[in-house]
Structure formats: C-alpha cells, structure tokens
Chain A
Amino acid sequence: MLSAYREIVKFLLLVAIVLLLPLLIQEGYLLNVMVFVGIHSILALALNLLLGYAGQISLGHAGFFGLGAYISGILTATYSINPWAAMLAAATLVTLLAFIVGFPILKLKGHYLAMATLGLGIIIYIIFNEAVDHTGGPSGLSGIPNLSLGGFSFDSDLRNYYLIWTFTLVAIGLSLNLVNSRIGRALRAIHDSEVAARVMGVNARLLKVQIFALSAGLSAVAGSLYAHTMTFVAPASFGFNFSVELVTMVIIGGLASIYGSLLGAALLTVLPEMLRAFQDYDIIVYGLLLIVITMFMPGGLVKGLPGVLTALRRKAAKEESGDA
C-alpha cells in the first residue's frame, strides 16, 4: 500500500512539473521543444510496452506514428472531417491494422521479428512517398487544421504544450495502471520465461499481438497530435531512422520503465538542441554521449541516474570530512 501511495506522489509531482514548466520557459522555441518531448514520450511509452514489458522488438514504429499523422492529416485537410474524429479514426484503424498484421509477424522471434517490423515500417514509408495523390508524396501534406475545443483552438506553442502534455500524462497514467495489473504481470512473465507463462495459462501469442496493437494505436495517437500541432506532415519524419531513434529512447531511458520512457524521450529530444553549440561536430558528441550512457548505465537512465547521484553525494561527503 505504501508503494501505491509513493506511485501517486510521483505522478502528482510530474503533473506539477508539467503545469509549472511554462513559467520558466516562456520562449516559443523551448516550448516547442517541450511539445516534441511530449510527443516522443508517448511514442517511447508505446514502444516500451512492447519492447520493455513484452520483450518484443519493433523497428517499424515510426510507420505507425506516420500512419496516425497521415490518416489524421488526410481526413481533415482533404475531407474536412473533424480533427478529433480523425484522431479517433486514425487510432482505431492503426490498432486494427497492427492487430491483423501482428498475428503472422509476432510468430517470429528476435532478429527475424526485427527484420519483419523493419520491412513493415519501410513499406509504410514507401506508401507515404508514392501515394502522391493522397499524401502529397515527398513534398508532404499541408493545411492540416489545429485541434480545437468549442471555440478554443490549440494554435499557439503554449496551448499546444498543454494539449500534448495532457495526452502524455494520461498515457503515462494508463500505462502505469496497465503494467501493475494482471496484464502487466503476464507481459513480464512472458519476458522472463515464455514457456512457464504459457503453462500457467497465459495465451502468450494473443497477448503479444494485443500489446503490439495497443502500442501501434498509441503511436498513431501521437502521430495525430503531431499532425495537428505541426499542421504539416512529410514522409521524412517517419523513416527508418526515426524507428531506430525510438528504440534508442526506450533503451537509454530504461527498458520496462514508464518514467524511463519519459527520460529517454526527453534526453534524445533535448540533447540535439543543446549540442547545436558544437556545430558540425554535434552528431559526434551526440553519438559519444549515447555510447557512454549505455556503457555506464546499462539499465538506462532511470536505474543509472540514482546511482550517479549517490556516488556524487558520497564523494562530496568524503571531501567534506577530509577537509574537517
């Protein structure tokens, strides 16, 4: 019961940070970065449910993200459908698609699953590029409307910030509930010993497919949010590179950790912005930092950071006692 209480406090703390952050950063650019941190957090969270909890890799999640963005974009920009309805349609369609595709794909394991999901992502990417009549092809699709509630339109950086982070917080809350339930236990059990989980009556295959579908659907919601905040989508945002970046966010943040997804997404989104100072060398510094983090924090930031903090504190305490 104490741990449940601590979970609630942790979550409320996050809510408070999210609410108050705009007081510190009023600058549009930084706020815009935070919007991306929010969207990427939802994506990392979605992938972590699959990769960290169910132990199944996907190198095609940028594709689901893109599908969400394009379905929302096309329905609103081309067919003038209500953005909220478009978002719902995108989430439903992508969930269904992933559920159907998931059955054959998730029969595969390890490297083969990685290859199959990679292929799926590439197919989706090619469709974005080639279905020019619907997607606008490589030059993208513009004129996507902002989301609005009543007469209130989410058209400024600050409004988008609160919109996106409301979704992010809800996604975090729902995911926390899920991983601490019988479904979460079953997922972790499959990860630890699939054969034992099956003997205990867990339908591992069905559950993997369900989580794959859920993960894809959540990514599609992130895609819709992206489309309606940016009001423009182009295929380049949804390629293989971004799929790999999502996997990196999950691993850097911490596998099977909800808050780790948040940290990983934040780091990988903010870091490239901070490294602008290194100009042409930024990508090298970026790569080096990732290598150092994975080497010294194999459990991800969420496990590694507390260790670093205690080490620093101990060092400080030692120096103090040395002085005295």
Chain B
Amino acid sequence: MLEVRSLTQRFGGITALEDISFAVAKGDITGIIGPNGAGKTTLFNIVTGLYTQTAGAVLLNGKDISNLPPERLAPLGLVRTFQNIELFGTMTVLENVMLGLHTRSSSGILACMAKMPWHLREERLIRKQAYEWLDFCGISTLAEQKASNLPFGRGRFLEIARAMAVNPSIMLMDEPAAGLNNRETGELAALIRKIRAAGVTVVLVEHDMELVMDICDRIIVLNLGRKLAEGTPREIQENPAVISAYLGEG
C-alpha cells in the first residue's frame, strides 16, 4: 500500500532521517514510535508532501508520490491529521467536514456565484455526507458549533471526521492521543479500529505505548533518524535494542 524507500532527509548539516525503508500493508494499523527527535514527524511531513526529501522515494500503491504536493495526495486517497490539531477555527464543525469533501465536489467559482442548480445539488449532497462522517465519529450534536470553541479532545475527533470525509485509502495520524484524557483515548482506540474496519489503512505516530501496543498490527521504531526495529507489538516489546533506546544503556 505505502512504501518508503531509502528515505534520507538533511536540514543543513543535520541528518533528520537516514536511509529509512519500510512498507505498510493494506488494512493494517501501523505504529511508528521512537524517542523525541527520532524523526517521526519529519517522516510524516515527507510522506504527506509537506517536505521534499533529500534522497529516497515514497510510493503509494506502486505510484511514486515523492514530489507531489499535499493537494495532489488527497485525491489519491492519502490524508493526515496533525499533532496540534489544525482545524478551521472560524468555521463551524459541519463546515470543517464539508471542506473535507472539497475534492469530491467540483463546482467552479462562476457556478457558485450564480447558484447553478448542479452546484446546489452538490452542496446538499456534501452536507448530507458531512453529517454522516460526524455521526461516524460521534460528534454530530456539535455540528453547528464554531470549531475554535471545541474542547481539545472533540477537536481531535473533528479532525478525524474531516480526514475521513476525503474518502481516504490511507490515513496518517500524528500523535492522535496527545492531549486526550483516558476516556477519550479509549474512544480514540475504538474509532481507529472502526476506521480500519471501514477499509482505511492507518499509520500513526504515537507516544502512548499502551495505545500503540493495544491497536497496532505492526510497529516501526525510529531512533536518531534511523530505523531501529520493525515487528509485531510483542516482538518490539522484547527487542533488546528497543529497550535500550527507551531506557538508556543498562
């Protein structure tokens, strides 16, 4: 599904990622873990088109997407969420999700200005689908709220609803549990499983080990810009290199 080949990223003299390779299988939930500064977010930013890598390639379903900007990736079915949720604060919750359906509608500026009938039809359809995704994430009661008024945890779920609206085949989540309380983290785990059940492959960067070990099928461990280990949660928990990276030499 998603394949990363010999990815290297340098910022000036600093090497953030060095020769990273891995593959994500369709339908899996894959966790990427590692201590702070391991290069997890850099990796995400490259895969999702925000950065351009120094060397290496990213393939989605066999197609090289290395140099595509993010707006070209959404139509290909690749979306992401952000560590510090990036909502459209001045818009309502519903409008946020409707924006997620942007690529699934096509009325141009003139059609919108003139309220052409096909534009109105499209608008009704988008609204209906947006409500369905709010339902999917369990936040449809908040539809008319302004997004900036949401508590952080609800904002996270809204971000996921908005990403689902893009109709992705793969979703990358950057620390989805950050800032959530225990109850919300439980809801998140259930939601991520539901997303996978809906046919979406999930890749997540996460610090919450309990969550990662609980929901992930495979785990990739990064340390200081290199891939340290890869395997099932059990294999990772027993890997001496991983243990020493997390706990220090001992």
- Please give the residue numbers on chain A whose beta carbons come within 8 Å of chain B beta carbons, in ascending order: 174-175, 177-178, 181-186, 188-189, 191-193, 195-204, 210-211, 214, 256
- Cα A185 to Cα B163 in complex, Å, equals 16
Chain B residues with CB below 8 A from A210, complex form: 109
Q: Select B91's contact among A188, A199, A203, A204, beta carbons within 8 Å.
A: A188
Q: Is the CB–CB distance between B88 and A198 below 8 Å?
A: no
CA distance A135 to B73 in the complex (A): 49
User: Which single member of A195, A211, A214 contacts B50 (CB below 8 Å)?
Assistant: A195
Residues of A within 8 A of B70 (CB): 195, 198-199
Q: In the complex, what distance in Å separates the CA atom of A12 from the CA atom of B98?
A: 28
Given the interface pairs A182-B107, A203-B71, A204-B71, the reply to whether A191 lies near B90 with Cβ below 8 Å is yes
Q: Which of B48, B123, B162 is in CB contact (< 8 Å) with A181?
A: B123
Q: What is the predominant secondary structure among interface residues of chain A facing chain B?
A: helix
Q: A174-B113, A199-B70 are in contact. Are A192 and B89 (CB under 8 A)?
A: yes
* B80 / chain A contacts, CB cutoff of 8 Å: 199
Top 7 closest pairs, chain A to chain B, by CB: A201-B74, A181-B112, A201-B103, A196-B86, A192-B88, A174-B113, A198-B70
A174–B119 Cα distance when bound, in Å, is 14
Complex CA gap A198/B69 in Å reads: 8
Chain B interface residues (CB < 8 Å from chain A)? 48, 50, 69-71, 73-75, 79-80, 82, 86-91, 95, 98-100, 102-103, 105, 107-109, 112-115, 119, 122-123, 126, 162-163, 166
How many angstroms from the CA of A206 to the CA of B226 in the assembled complex?
37
Q: How far is the CA of A200 from the CA of B87 in the complex (A)?
A: 11
Out of B74, B88, B112, B119, which one reaches A193, CB within 8 Å?
B88
Give the Cβ gap from A190 to chain B, nearest Cβ, in Å: 9
Which residues in A have their C-beta under 8 angstroms from that of B90? 188, 191-192, 256
**Contact B103 A177, beta carbon cutoff 8 Å:** no
Q: In the complex, A8→B98 CA distance in Å?
A: 23
Question: Within the assembled complex, what's the spacing in Å between the Cα atoms of A210 and B111?
Answer: 14
Contact of A177 among B87, B91, B113, B166 (CB under 8 A): B113
Cβ of B123 and Cβ of A195 under 8 Å apart? Answer: no
Q: Of B74, B108, B115, which one neighbours A200 at CB under 8 angstroms?
A: B74
Chain B residue contacts of A195, Cβ below 8 A:
50, 70, 82, 86
A143–B82 alpha-carbon span in the complex (Å): 60
Closest beta carbon of chain A to B29's beta carbon, Å: 20
* Bound-state Cα–Cα, A165 to B245, Å: 71
The answer to whether A200 and B162 touch across the interface, beta carbons within 8 angstroms, is yes
Complex alpha-carbon distance, A198 and B70, angstroms: 6
Residues of B within 8 A of A188 (CB): 88, 90-91, 95
Nearest chain B CB to A188's CB is how many angstroms away?
6
* B71 and A202 within 8 A (CB): yes
| Complex: A196 Cα to B74 Cα, angstroms | 11
Quote the shortest CB–CB distance from A183 to chain B (angstroms): 5
